[in-house]
Amino acid sequence: MAQATFHFPRGFLWGTATSSHQVEGNNTNNTWWAWEQEPGRIKEDHKSGLACDWWGGRWREDFDRAADAGQNTHRLSIEWSRLQPTPDRWDEAALDYYREMIRGLHERNLLPMVTLHHFSDPLWLMEKGGWENEAVADYFAVYVRKVVEALKEYVNLWVTINEPNVYAATGYVLGEFAPGKKDLGSAMRVMTNQVRAHAAAYKLIHSLQSTARVGVAHNYRPMQSAKVWSPLDRLTTYLQSGVFNEFFPRALHTGKLRFLTLRVNLPEARGTQDFLGINYYTREFVAFSPFKPGELFGRRYYRSDAELSSTGFIANEPRGLFEAVKWGLQFGLPIMITENGVEDAGDSLRRRYLIQHLHQLWKAVNFNFPVKGYYHWTLVDNFEWERGWTQRFGLWELDVDTQARRKRPSADLYAEICQTNGISSEMVARFAPELFANMFPNY
C-alpha cells in the first residue's frame, strides 16, 4: 500500500469560520431576527433563538474544541446591532464582551480573523434605507472605527464584508434574505455602496493600525455554459458570472464598477485589499432560460451525475476549489480560503468532501499559488439563514433544544489534518478509504 503525506507550507493557517447571528443567539435588534418572525421566510419556520449560545458563554467550550483539535486560527464576526443598537448609542458592555472573546482566542493560541459585516444589519440602518442608501458608507465607517479602536490590540486580520455578492443577490434579486426584493437595479446599488463602504473601511483601518491586513470574503462560484456551442448559454453565463463573480473584486482591483449600463468610477476603491478571501462551496452549469428575466435569463444547475449533499444544496465539486484559487491569481494578492464546507447531518459526505477539496488546495499550493490559510465552515452546527436548522455544516453536531455538542468523525479527521499540516495516506485509509486508490496509486 502506498504511503505518503501531502504537506502544506510551514505556518499555514488552519481554522474554522463562524458568524455572529448564526452562533450568538438572541440577536433581537437586527434585520435577521425580524425576518425570522415573518411566517414563511425561514424553512419550517425555524428561529435562531439561542443559536449556539455563544452570547451565553458557550464560545469558551467551542474555542477549546477548536484549539484541542490543532487549529491555529478562527474567523468570527462582530454583530453591528449589538454594538450600536441605535444611531446615537453604543453598548460598551457588548464591546467588552467581544474583547473578552478575542482575548479568549489568543489564550488558546488561535489567531483571530474578524469580520465586520456578515449579512445582518441593525434595524435602524434598514429604516434609513439600508445598503441602498449611499450614506451607508459613512454609517459603516463610524461603526468600523469603534470596533477597530477597541480591538486593534488583539486583531490585525480583518474582513470588512462577507460575501457582498450573496448579500445583494439573495436580498435584492432572489428575495430570500431581507428585505426580500427582486430587483436587479437595487442589487447593483447595494453592491456599489458596499464597494464604497469597503474602501472607506480599508483606509480607516490602516490609519488606525499600520500592521492591519484587510480583505473581503468573496463567494466565488465557477459557472460553465451548459452548451458551449450555444451563444445564448455563453451569453447568460458571461452575464451571471460577471455580476456574481467578477463585479465586486474587480471594482476593488481597478476602482471601476462596470456591468451592462453601469459605469461608475471609484478611484478610492482601487487596490483596497491586502488579501483575497475566497468562500468556495460548489460550481454549476448555466443554461439560457426565457422564463428568468430577473436572473439575467439564466438557469443554474448541477451536472446530472454530481454527488449531492443531503438536501441537494451543494454538489461535491473539489476541482472547483482549484479553479477558484487559479481565478484569484489575477489580483496579485495572498489568498485565504475563508469558507469551505458541506451540509451533512449524517457525516457521510463531509469526510470525502474535506479530503478531496484539501487535496485540490494542496495542488494549488504546489503550483506556488499564494494560498496562506483555510477556514472550514463550520465549527458547530449553526442557524443557516433562510434554511434555518435544516442544514448541518458543523464538525460538531448541535442539539438545538439542549445545546449539547457531539463530535462527528469529520472533526477527528480535520484535527489530524491540522496537527499534521497535511493529508496522509493513513488518514485517507481510515476516514475515506474509497478515495485511497485514486489519491495514492501503486505504480
What are the CA-CA distances from residue 420 to residues 12, 118, 165, 343, 409 (Å)? 11, 31, 35, 25, 17
Is residue 299, in this structure, part of any structural domain at all? no
Q: What is the pLDDT of residue 442?
A: 79
Is residue 242, in this structure, part of any structural domain at all? no
Q: What is the pLDDT of residue 273?
A: 98
Is residue 133, in this structure, part of any structural domain at all? yes
Is residue 209, in this structure, part of any structural domain at all? yes
Long-range Cβ pairs for the range 360-363 (8 Å, 24+): 360/318, 360/319, 360/321, 360/322, 361/321, 361/322, 361/325, 361/337, 362/6, 362/8, 362/422, 362/423, 363/322
In sequence order, which residues have a C-beta less than 8 Å from that of residue 73 and are 6 or more positions away?
Answer: 13, 14, 15, 110, 111, 112, 113, 373, 375
Q: What is the pLDDT of residue 294?
A: 85
For residues 146 and 84, the answer to whether their CB atoms sit within 8 Å is: yes
For residues 233 and 286, the answer to whether their CB atoms sit within 8 Å is: yes
What is the rounded average pLDDT for all residues in the chain? Answer: 97
Distance CA 84, CA 124 (A): 9
* pLDDT tens sequence across 213-234: 999 999 999 999 999 999 999 9
Is residue 253, in this structure, part of any structural domain at all? no
In the three-class reduction of DSSP (H, G, I as helix; E, B as strand; rest coil), residue 143 is classed as helix
Q: What is the pLDDT of residue 3?
A: 81
What domain count does the chain have? Answer: 1
Q: Is residue 1 predicted with pLDDT exceeding 80?
A: no
Is residue 268, in this structure, part of any structural domain at all? no
Q: What is the pLDDT of residue 261?
A: 85
Is residue 383, in this structure, part of any structural domain at all? yes
Q: Is residue 253 predicted with pLDDT exceeding 90?
A: yes
Distance CA 242, CA 144 (A): 29
pLDDT-derived band at 262 (thresholds 50, 70, 90) equals confident
The pLDDT > 90 percentage for the chain reads 96
Mean pLDDT for the stretch of residues 349-366:
98
* pLDDT tens sequence across 270-319: 999 999 999 999 999 999 999 988 888 999 999 999 999 999 999 999 99
Q: Which helix (H) or strand (E) holds 114?
A: strand 111-115
Return the exposure string of 320-348: e unless at least 16 CB atoms fall within 10 Å of the residue's CB, then b: bbbbbbebbeebebbbbbbbbbbbbbebe
User: Kind of pairing, strands 422-424 and 5-7?
Assistant: antiparallel
Is residue 97, in this structure, part of any structural domain at all? yes
Mean pLDDT for the stretch of residues 344-373:
98
CATH number of residue 124's parent domain: 3.20.20.80
* pLDDT tens sequence across 46-85: 999 999 999 999 999 999 999 999 999 999 999 999 999 9
* pLDDT tens sequence across 370-426: 999 999 999 999 999 999 999 999 999 999 999 999 999 999 999 999 999 999 999
The model carries a pTM of: 0.98
* pLDDT tens sequence across 115-141: 999 999 999 999 999 999 999 999 999
Q: What is the pLDDT of residue 24?
A: 98
Q: What is the pLDDT of residue 424?
A: 97
Residue that is written with C-alpha cell 453598548 in the block: 91
Q: What is the pLDDT of residue 443?
A: 52
Range of the domain at 348: 5-225+276-283+304-439
The pLDDT > 70 percentage for the chain reads 99
Q: What is the pLDDT of residue 280?
A: 98
Q: Is residue 183 predicted with pLDDT exceeding 90?
A: yes
Distance CA 416, CA 359 (A): 14
Distance CA 255, CA 243 (A): 16
Measured distance between the N- and C-terminal CA atoms of the chain, rounded to whole angstroms:
10
Phi, psi angles (nearest 5°) of residue 59: -60, -30
* pLDDT tens sequence across 398-411: 999 999 999 999 99
